[in-house]
A and B are shown apart, each in its own frame.
Chain A
Amino acid sequence: MPEAPAPLLALAGVHTRIGAYHILHGVDLEVPEGGLTMLLGRNGAGKTTCLRTIMGLWRASEGTVRFRAEGGGTRELATLDTAAIAQAGIAYVPENMGIFGDLTVRENLLLAARGARRVDDMDTARLEWIFGFFPALRKFWLYPAGKLSGGQKQMLAIARAIVEPRRLLLVDEPTKGLAPAIVSNLADAFGELKAARTTVLLVEQNVAFATRLGDTVAVMDDGRIVHRGTMAALRDDEALQRRLLGLSMAAGH
């Protein structure tokens, strides 16, 4: 289904240790360009660690993280620091959203726009595009981000990741703790991103959300990828779902 010849991001044999704990036991993961890849799995399977390792927030002790660079050719991310990984074109929305609560919405977005020194320098058309699916951000433009609701914070966190075009978005559990109406709003927003051919790697627990949006899927268990394929195939195979996730996706509806 993905037309891209080589994956945008490819992890091979990645091991990550945090202190005395060995969390990732050789992760092999590919993220095709231009689609939305879902990373599913139980709590504690290593999904967040996987994203943090890609971002360089935790170091892989073994293995490679190859990222296809803008002009072609690949870059090894495992040796770069977090800032350099971000500059290579990867945006990250952590599970806690990482909002700068004492800064306004405007200031949060200005910081995310690395190319802009002032608000005037920001890409107005792109901002309008973002406001199109996150209208609350326009409304709360001068408001301290810490005072936004949980859903609005999540919108701001995602807006920050896309305020400039990035080659890959890593998003960790965006629906966590949000009301169903907000989740549906977020799903629409990710639909917009897909329409714009943005490549996304999304960690998710909400199966309904995952099946609605995912193109490809990878399932983690115990620090390894235990299944890779298309979302459509997993959606249609209830036995596989039950084996991998211990639940049926139909139950989510």
Chain B
Amino acid sequence: MTERTAVPGAPPAPSPAPTPSPAPPAASGAPDALPATRLDWKPLALLAAIALLALPAIGSPSTWLTLTVAGLAMGMIVFITASGLTLVFGLMDVLNFGHGVFIAAGAFLATTVLAPLAPWTQADSLASNLAAIFVAMLVAMAACAAIGLAFERVLVRPVYGQHLKQILITMGGMIVGEELIKAIWGPQQIPLPLPQALRGSILVGDAAIERYRLLAVAIGLVVFVALAWTLSRTKIGLLIRAGVQDREMVESLGYRIRRLFVGVFVAGSGLAGLGGVLWGLYQQSVIPQIGAQVNVLLFIVIIIGGLGSTLGCFVGAMLVGLMANYTGFLAPKVALFSNILLMVAILLWRPQGVYPVSNR
């Protein structure tokens, strides 16, 4: 969506603001003369093709549906956590190997927030269950955004433009973060049970679909749509996309890209916190190493997607989620390295990732 988003029709969405001249100049021009932006459909077709090819391989349609929903849910959670990482890299060439720490922090914060909310989570009411999760998400996002602000200031800012130092110091940041989590919450695994109404499955035909996965898909879609809207329809979003391509030119147009970058870093950290909550609930337990575990996956996803591309990140996350679930069922041993296999295959096809960012 960042790149080739179709922005159909010349006039932007009608706004409540008073607009004395409603028609933008080009509306009278010739937007009909040319196709507007066309989406590069091949990566999306690949996604569909993988899902369709898995159907005969798995054999049973109900099992296939279960696995597909599981894959999409996992993909959505991965997308939420990785979206910030890809923009941070695209905008400032910053390799943040500490991104995983925000996921871990989000997941552990969820255990802390949900514990006193036990009456809500154990009530057999979907509304109060969702309210509890919602509170946990908000707290995790706010806290991780705040940690992100400090992380950027203390660790990332001194090493702009120095990749080796970035890798070292952000990895160091993650180790420190992990140890801090151990110091606060202890080194052991902490259970993070799903709220009452979200446990179990619903049956669609013969397919059992876990309720929580549906929720994860829904939340992921909301985040995706919100990001897509921000990036394609707001000026801040345009600036982010432009900055990913040519930050010097954005500065030359009179915008301070550092400030934009800090905003993106903070928002990305908050989203990683949200992803951490969802990931912890998906696993139903959290361990301090969760950040380091997910980190590798995140980098695979943003490399598959094309560094800096949000739509690519989305497609990459979905590919990883589906592959993990399909291979986990069909060939559990292959599942151990299916992500790497996927990345190698994609990079052989498109060495810059599925949606390469131009002008870099």
A residues neighboring B (CB under 8 Å): 55, 57, 81-83, 86-87, 91-92, 94, 98-104, 106-108, 110-112, 114, 117-120, 122, 124, 127-128, 131, 138-144, 146, 160
Contacts of A138 in B (CB 8 A): 25-26, 29-30
Taking a contact as CB atoms under 8 Å apart, the answer to whether A119 and B7 are in contact is: no
Q: How far is the CB of B278 from chain A (nearest CB, A)?
A: 29
**Can you list 18 A-B pairs with a CB-CB distance of less than 8 A?**
A57-B251, A86-B253, A98-B252, A100-B241, A102-B241, A102-B245, A102-B357, A104-B36, A107-B242, A120-B19, A124-B21, A128-B25, A138-B25, A138-B29, A139-B34, A141-B10, A141-B29, A142-B10
Provided the pairs A111-B239, A144-B4 are in contact, do residues A131 and B12 lie with their beta carbons within 8 angstroms? no
In the complex with contacts A103-B238, A104-B37, A83-B31 CB distance below 8 A: no
- Cα distance, A144 to B249, chains bound together (Å): 17
Residues of B within 8 A of A (CB): 2-4, 7, 10, 12, 15, 17, 19, 21-22, 24-26, 29-31, 33-34, 36-37, 235, 238-239, 241-242, 245-246, 248-257, 357-359
Give me 10 other A-B pairs in contact (C-beta within 8 A), A118-B12, A120-B12 excluded: A81-B256, A83-B251, A83-B254, A102-B2, A104-B7, A106-B26, A110-B235, A120-B19, A124-B25, A146-B358
A17 to B357, CA, bound (A): 31
Contact B12–A100 (Cβ < 8 Å): no
Partner of A92 from B17, B241, B252 at Cβ < 8 Å: B252
Interface residue from A114, A119, A127 paired with B253 (Cβ < 8 Å): A114
CB distance from B234 to the nearest CB of A (A): 8
B252 touches A55 (CB 8 A): yes
CA gap between A114 and B250 in the complex, in Å: 11
Q: Which of A83, A94, A102, A144: most chain B Cβ within 10 A?
A: A102
The residues of B that contact A102 with a CB separation of less than 8 Å are 2-4, 241, 245, 357-359
Complex Cα distance, B8 from A141, in Å, reads 11
The answer, among B3, B12, B24, B33, for a CB contact under 8 Å with A124, is B24
A201 to chain B, nearest CB (A): 14
In the complex, what distance in Å separates the CA atom of A63 from the CA atom of B245? 32
Once the chains bind, are B37 and A120 in contact (CB under 8 Å)? no
The chain B residue with its CB closest to the CB of A98 is B249
CB pair A143 B252 closer than 8 Å: no
Set of chain A residues within 8 Å of B246, measured between Cβ atoms: 98-100
CA distance A144 to B253 in the complex (A): 19
Q: In whole angstroms, what is the CA distance A94 to B31 when docked?
A: 28
Q: Is the interface of B mostly helix, strand, loop or mixed?
A: loop
CA distance A112 to B252 in the complex (A): 9
CA–CA, A250 and B287, complex, Å:
78
B239's nearest neighbour on chain A, judged by CB, is: A111
Flag if B249 contacts A86 (CB, 8 Å).
Answer: no
The contact of B245 among A86, A101, A141, by CB within 8 Å, is A101
Q: Which A-chain residue is minimally distant from B33 (CB atoms)?
A: A139
Write the chain B residue with the least CB distance to A102.
B3
Give the chain B neighbours of A117 by CB distance below 8 A: 235
Nearest Cβ on chain A to B145's Cβ, whole angstroms: 24
Q: Say which residue of A83, A86, A107, A119 sits within 8 Å of B24 (CB atoms).
A: A119
Q: Which residues of chain A come closer than 8 Å to B7, judged between CB atoms?
A: 104, 106-107, 142
Residue of B nearest to A141 (CB): B26
In angstroms, Cα B257 to Cα A86, docked, is 13
Q: How far is the CB of B306 from chain A (nearest CB, A)?
A: 11
Nearest-CB distance from A102 to chain B (Å)?
4
A138 and B29 CA atoms in complex are apart in Å by 6
Complex CA distance for A92 and B26, rounded to whole angstroms: 25
B residues less than 8 Å from A91 (CB atoms): 252
* Bound Cα distance A120, B37 (Å): 20
Minimum CB–CB distance from B316 to chain A (whole Å) comes to 17
A118 CB contacts on chain B under 8 angstroms:
12, 15, 235
From A101, A104, A106, B358 is in contact (CB under 8 Å) with A101
Q: Which residues of A contact B358 (CB under 8 A)?
A: 101-102, 146
Provide the bound-state CA to CA distance between A141 and B25, in Å. 10
Contact A141 B241 (CB under 8 A): no
A131 and B25 form a contact (CB under 8 A): yes
B21 touches A120 (CB 8 A): yes
A244 to B10, CA, bound (A): 50
Rounded to whole angstroms, the CA-CA distance of A9 and B327 in the bound complex is 66
The minimal Cβ–Cβ distance linking B21 to chain A, given in whole angstroms, is 5
Highest count of chain A CB atoms <10 Å: which of B250, B251, B252, B359: B252
On whether the beta carbons of B30 and A86 are closer than 8 Å, the reply is no
Contacts of B359 in A (CB 8 A): 99-102, 146
**What residues on B are CB-neighbors of A114 within 8 Å?**
253-255
Is the CB–CB distance between A111 and B235 below 8 Å? Answer: yes
Closest to A57 in B: B248
Contact B252 A82 (CB under 8 A): yes
Once the chains are docked, how many angstroms separate the CA of A55 from the CA of B253? 10
Query: Which chain B residues lie closer than 8 Å to A122 at the CB level?
Result: 24
Chain A neighbourhood of B252, CB < 8 A: 55, 57, 82, 86, 91-92, 94, 98
- Give Cα A143–Cα B29 distance, bound, in whole angstroms: 13
Known contacts being A120-B15, A142-B10, A144-B37, is A160 close to B24, with CB within 8 Å? no
What's the least CB distance linking B195 to chain A, in Å? Answer: 41
Across the interface, name the chain A residue whose C-beta is closest to B243: A100
CA distance A106 to B233 in the complex (A): 12
A141 vs B7: C-alpha distance when bound (angstroms)? 11
Instruction: For the complex formed, measure the closest distance between the CB of B18 and the CB atoms of chain A, giving whole angstroms.
Output: 10
Q: Which residues of B contact A87 (CB under 8 A)?
A: 254
A94-B252, A139-B34 known; A111 vs B238 contact (CB < 8 Å): yes
Interface-central residue, A100, A103, A107, A146, by most chain B CB under 10 Å: A100
- Is there an interface contact between A98 and B256, defined as CB atoms closer than 8 Å? no
